[in-house]
Amino acid sequence: MSDCCCAKTEPASRNTAECPVGGTKGLPVELQTVKAVLTNAALRRITAAAHRFCADAECDVVYFADDGTTYSKTDIREPVWQKEPAGARMLCYCFGENEGDIRVEIATTGKSDAVERVKAHIKAGRCACEVRNPRGTCCLGDVRAAVKRVSESLTQATAVSGHAHGRFETSCDVPDRGARCA
């Protein structure tokens, strides 16, 4: 059984399309997802056309439709993590896993159980990524990547801080790295 919560489905439109503003290839997203995350005002403009998600962080467009309609960050009920600066971005819209909490957990305990928590919710059938995640797909890969990214940045920051303050002479002296320096 897959860890992912979302069933693999064929998008409504198979043709590829690029964001009309940023030029990034859009990822197909179900109309149900778009409707669920739009503000009331933006929902009044929705059409039945096939919609796509623009993941480009530099582009203000979140969704664009085959009929030319676009929806920007201000048209979405919650911040979209791909469009926000790194630090405290929401990764799991169902269960609240975010970069800030993951960072605190790793800094405090040395690891994060965010992936395991999300997996447990998926296994229990509680996940609703296809509706709650603005991308309309399972967030588990995003959570897994964030745990790795945050863990690596904290390890690097510890190493830099230790060298700067004279606590470590070589990278072999850095906690969690010494075992690899035999």
pLDDT digits (tens, 9 = 90+) for 143-180: 999 999 999 999 887 776 654 444 444 444 444 444 44
pLDDT digits (tens, 9 = 90+) for 29-66: 999 999 999 999 999 999 999 999 999 999 999 999 99
Question: What would the mean pLDDT of 115-141 be, rounded to a whole number?
Answer: 96
Delineate the domains of the chain, giving CATH numbers in brackets.
8-77 (2.20.25.270), 80-166 (1.10.10)
**pLDDT for position 85:** 94
* Mean pLDDT score of the chain: 86
Of 84, 116, 78, 119, give the one whose Cα is nearest residue 99. 84
**pLDDT for position 156:** 85
pTM, rounded to two decimals: 0.77
**pLDDT for position 124:** 96
Question: Burial, 53: exposed, middle or buried (Cβ in 10 Å; 0-12, 13-18, 19+)?
Answer: buried
